[in-house]
Structure 1
Amino acid sequence: MPLVVKGGYVYTFYRGVIEDGVVVIGDDGRIAAVGRADEVEVPPGSDVIGAKGAHIIPGLIDAHTHIGVDEEAVGWEGRDTNESTEPVTPHLRAFDGIKSDDVAFREALEAGITSVGVLPGSANPIGGLGAAVKCFGRNKLEMLVREPIGLKMAFGENPKRVHGVENKRSPSTRMGIAGVIREWLVKARNYSRKKELFKDQPEKLPDVDLRLEALELALRGAIPVRAHAHLADDMITAMSIAKEFNLRLVLDHGTEAHRIPDIIARESIPAVVGPLMTAKGKVELRGRTLETPRALASYGIT
């Protein structure tokens, strides 16, 4: 049975706000029609919801979450966000760690968030591949929209703490983090060149390396690098590496992005800002302000 929501203010991407709007959702769960009441034909037998005076918006998308890989209210058993036993894990897939029964999916859906980007955590300089999923479905195969959607990298406090402080190994400094990332990108670039050089000589092809295959996706521009960075200086490091290796870059968190909006805009780099309303639990968050989204928007950064 089609579902019809009518009589409210319908917010659209292509027509602005439609007053006395109608949204028709077909039997397949997809939006079939949007428009004014005098434009849209209501299918016979529809389940009609009167929404006069209400505001009807498209489903929200949260581009950076750990829903499903850091299962809510479960503890260590549901915590699959970081494989912190080693610092370089580009071949890991967040999708493999998703638990579709995580109550956070239902809670997100109830808040109007219909799809999310699920990323590995930020313990490792190179953490793994993200996935886009819907917040509803019987299992994660039904929920999957696309993967991979990006290669997670992390700069700053988290890799320093996890590897340098807690595990007494490299990297323990910001220099070390950047060095590890560059080292593995060079390895992947050389791997890719060998594959191209010997594509007609199978016996000379390098053995398949899952880490380098994942990095190769980023080097080819098939997926962006999702760079966890809070400090302006860490964002500059991420942008420098992206330029060196011709990577597509997205800045995640961007806590101090308001300090360098001109630089970010000059490089045409998008940003996923936030969260903005949690406790400032570490030094990197001292500069957090609600001005950041405004500053980026004023420079045309999306």
Structure 2
Amino acid sequence: MGSSLLATRTHTPFWRWAHPVLFTIALISIVLLHSSTFISLVFSQSSPQEFSRRSQILSKCAYIHAKPGPPPNFHARTQSDRFVDSEDVTPLLVRNATIWTAAHDGHEVLTGDLLMHRSLIKAIGDVPLSLIRQVELKSRKLEVINAHGAWVTPGIVDLHSHIGVVSAPQLNGACDTSSRKAPILPWLRSIDGLNTHDASYELAMAGGITTAQIVPGSANDIGGQAFIIKLRPTNECSPSSMLLKPPHTLNGSHFDHSLTPRWRHMKHACGENPSRVYGMTRLDSGWNFRAAYDSARKLRDTQDAFCAKVESDSWDDLAEKTFPEELQWESLVDVLRGCVRLSVHCYEAVDLNRIVCLTNEFEFPVASFHHAGETYLVPELLKKTWGGTPAIALFASNFRKKHEAYRGSEFAPRVLAEHGTDVVMKSDHPIVNSRYLLHEAAQAHYYGLDPALALLSVTYTPATAMGMGHRIGMLKPGYDADIVIWSSHPLSLASTPTQVYIDGIPQLSLPGRYVAKGPTTPPRTPNFDSEKVAAVAHDGIPPLEPRSVKGTLFVNVSGLYMRGEGSSGVMRVSEQVGSVRVEDGRVVCVGQCSNFAEGVVDVFFFF
């Protein structure tokens, strides 16, 4: 064969067989000639130290312009990065469950099984027997739970919590939420005050909470950076080991800049709290924000100018110069680069307007407005936020506790959803005990929020607002979303977790029976259409005028007490009264009373 090939080449003109080779050489030459940076790095006479310096600078310049998110191969992983390789951690198969996945805008409900292995969901619904056997063969054991039709959901996600930084028991007034040093402190970090021994973790998990964003307090205009944790205890017992996915900057600016950037998180606050702490007005806060972002913008522009020279191969202009950095402002620069999921505490329209204007002046997005009592009154303002409408994180009630919360409404979640705005229910633990976060969603549903959106408001919607919707908040193969098995439909008042799995590890030491023992459908709710319209029409303060009532009839009354003589001043009239009629504040009939008076009559039943 070799001689035949040689003969062929001998009788073929040189230019014909050599043409592809020459073409390839020419192409490589053109690429190299246009890759001046590559040539300067590889073929210049610079020292190895200079070569290393330039390589690091090139990598850093590429990194600051990359967008955060999961790495390209994220969903090809075979185990979660939080998987605990221990004999006590076994694969899990939940059989015969009613599974609310959070998919299809919260409307997907599957009847069947769920398989979890190495802290990842492997299959949902109709799980192939071959896959079950494969998992069991690899692990040599498998925990099987028969749910008997019980509801299964993703773990509850709390977008706004101070658990771990306002710890229980709170001894000596210890509280690591806010600093009193200055109103602008973007360099502070909530993880630096996270107490891993907070007794509230266990209680919160008993309520189905599996993930929480730990935000700084609201005493500062910029209170610092937030961190996302899983609530389960870890073998390391450290705050870092509780983190869902720490940003690369956790341990400084020296890391592998070829990695895909991870989301960072930060807290801002407006209104009464920073004003009260620092004796400021809203005018002062407005300037504080603008001055801080102007400092960050100048640093960003300096970095961009530096990198522009790098990319144009102007190394002579950068001799002995380093990448411009300032540790105080680097996190705020990342906000301007769109690498931070920003949470902003704002109640009133005046404060919301200030932040919306700020985002457009300095061109940065906001992930979520928190507390946000008046957002339902200004939905069109929210849409003007630079980068898109933020999610709105609300209480279900808890209004009128202070001036800036006075116009809040129970109908706000429904109104915002009708305007196409993402709604999140949050705890602000310990303001609302996070153990009862699902009750916030249930209340929002009671006042008119669609049941699918109510469940999404404590699962997938907050996970997305965190930038973690690719891994938690939804039950989907490849996700490491935690799971909760409920005693009844999650939005029913009596519903409680019978077991909670975080990273595939059961968290309740005394689990309940895996059986649906309560309502299996969302609860029926009143029609509050007119009240919702009135709340908006009257800017959150509908008139509370008394109705004209001629009389009130109480029926099925078992006993009647009236003012009388003696030391107690109270006299029991009868054991079996029947009915009691009251007009103009006076009892006019006891016993067999009829609804005979003219005008409006209220009827109350007593048992």
Give the TM-score normalised by structure 1: 0.88
Aligned mate of 1:154, from 269, 282, 285: 269
2:404: which partner in 1? 284
1:31: which partner in 2? 121
2:354: which partner in 1? 237
Deviation, 1:59, is 0.8
Specify whether residues 292 and 39 from structure 1 end up closer, same or farther in structure 2 by C-alpha distance, changes over 3 A only: farther
Find the residue that maps to 2:176 and give its secondary structure: coil
1:118: which partner in 2? 214
Say whether the 8 Å CA contact 1:22–1:40 is kept in structure 2: no
Which whole-Å CA distance do the structure 2 matches of 1:14 and 1:207 have between them?
44
2:372: which partner in 1? 254
Which whole-Å CA distance do the structure 2 matches of 1:31 and 1:278 have between them?
37
Find the residue that maps to 2:408 and give its secondary structure: coil
Deviation, 1:206, is 9.0
Say whether the 8 Å CA contact 1:231–1:254 is kept in structure 2: yes
> Which letter does structure 2 place at the counterpart of 1:195?
Q
Which whole-Å CA distance do the structure 2 matches of 1:41 and 1:194 have between them?
54
Specify whether residues 6 and 246 from structure 1 end up closer, same or farther in structure 2 by C-alpha distance, changes over 3 A only: same
Say whether the 8 Å CA contact 1:132–1:146 is kept in structure 2: yes
Aligned counterparts, 1:1-302, within 5 A: 1-14=90-103, 16-19=108-111, 21-26=112-117, 28-36=118-126, 42-43=132-133, 44=136, 45-76=141-172, 78-138=174-234, 139=237, 140-147=239-246, 149-164=264-279, 172-198=280-306, 201=318, 208-249=325-366, 250-267=368-385, 268-278=388-398, 280-302=400-422
Say whether the 8 Å CA contact 2:186–2:223 is kept in structure 1: yes
Which whole-Å CA distance do the structure 2 matches of 1:41 and 1:208 have between them?
51
Say whether the 8 Å CA contact 1:253–1:271 is kept in structure 2: no
Say whether the 8 Å CA contact 2:165–2:177 is kept in structure 1: yes
Select the structure with the greater relative contact order (CA < 8 A; seq sep ≥ 6).
2
Say whether the 8 Å CA contact 1:265–1:300 is kept in structure 2: no
> Which letter does structure 2 place at the counterpart of 1:218?
V
Identical positions, percent: 30
TM-superposition CA deviations, 1:8-63 (whole Å, max 9, x none): 210113361012x211122x233222113677854454222111131110111111
272-281 or 198-207, which moves further after superposition? 198-207
TM-superposition CA deviations, 1:222-262 (whole Å, max 9, x none): 11332110112211111110111111112122111110112
Specify whether residues 202 and 78 from structure 1 end up closer, same or farther in structure 2 by C-alpha distance, changes over 3 A only: farther
76-85 or 217-226, which moves further after superposition? 76-85
Say whether the 8 Å CA contact 1:4–1:22 is kept in structure 2: yes
Find the residue that maps to 1:52 and give its secondary structure: coil
Find the residue that maps to 1:160 and give its secondary structure: helix
Say whether the 8 Å CA contact 1:130–1:150 is kept in structure 2: yes
Specify whether residues 76 and 101 from structure 1 end up closer, same or farther in structure 2 by C-alpha distance, changes over 3 A only: same
Deviation, 1:135, is 1.1
Which whole-Å CA distance do the structure 1 matches of 2:390 and 2:404 have between them?
20
Q: How many residues matched?
A: 293
Larger CA Rg, structure 1 vs 2: 2
Find the residue that maps to 2:344 and give its secondary structure: strand
TM-superposition CA deviations, 1:169-190 (whole Å, max 9, x none): xxx1011101101011101111
Specify whether residues 202 and 77 from structure 1 end up closer, same or farther in structure 2 by C-alpha distance, changes over 3 A only: farther
2:429: which partner in 1? none
Which whole-Å CA distance do the structure 2 matches of 1:299 and 1:222 have between them?
27
> Which letter does structure 1 place at the counterpart of 2:377?
R
Say whether the 8 Å CA contact 1:117–1:133 is kept in structure 2: yes
Deviation, 1:264, is 1.6
5+ residue gaps, structure 2, are: 1-89, 248-263, 308-316, 423-607
Say whether the 8 Å CA contact 2:356–2:384 is kept in structure 1: no
Find the residue that maps to 1:109 and give its secondary structure: helix
Say whether the 8 Å CA contact 1:64–1:272 is kept in structure 2: no
Which whole-Å CA distance do the structure 2 matches of 1:206 and 1:47 have between them?
53
1:169: which partner in 2? none
> Which letter does structure 2 place at the counterpart of 1:214?
S
Say whether the 8 Å CA contact 1:127–1:152 is kept in structure 2: yes
Find the residue that maps to 2:103 and give its secondary structure: coil
Deviation, 1:113, is 1.4
Say whether the 8 Å CA contact 2:302–2:324 is kept in structure 1: no
Say whether the 8 Å CA contact 1:194–1:206 is kept in structure 2: no
TM-superposition CA deviations, 1:255-302 (whole Å, max 9, x none): 111101122235432224223344643211111222111111111111
Find the residue that maps to 2:158 and give its secondary structure: strand
Deviation, 1:124, is 0.5
Which whole-Å CA distance do the structure 1 matches of 2:406 and 2:171 have between them?
28
Which whole-Å CA distance do the structure 1 matches of 2:411 and 2:129 have between them?
40
Deviation, 1:80, is 0.3
Which whole-Å CA distance do the structure 2 matches of 1:67 and 1:11 have between them?
27
Specify whether residues 29 and 12 from structure 1 end up closer, same or farther in structure 2 by C-alpha distance, changes over 3 A only: same
Say whether the 8 Å CA contact 1:130–1:147 is kept in structure 2: no
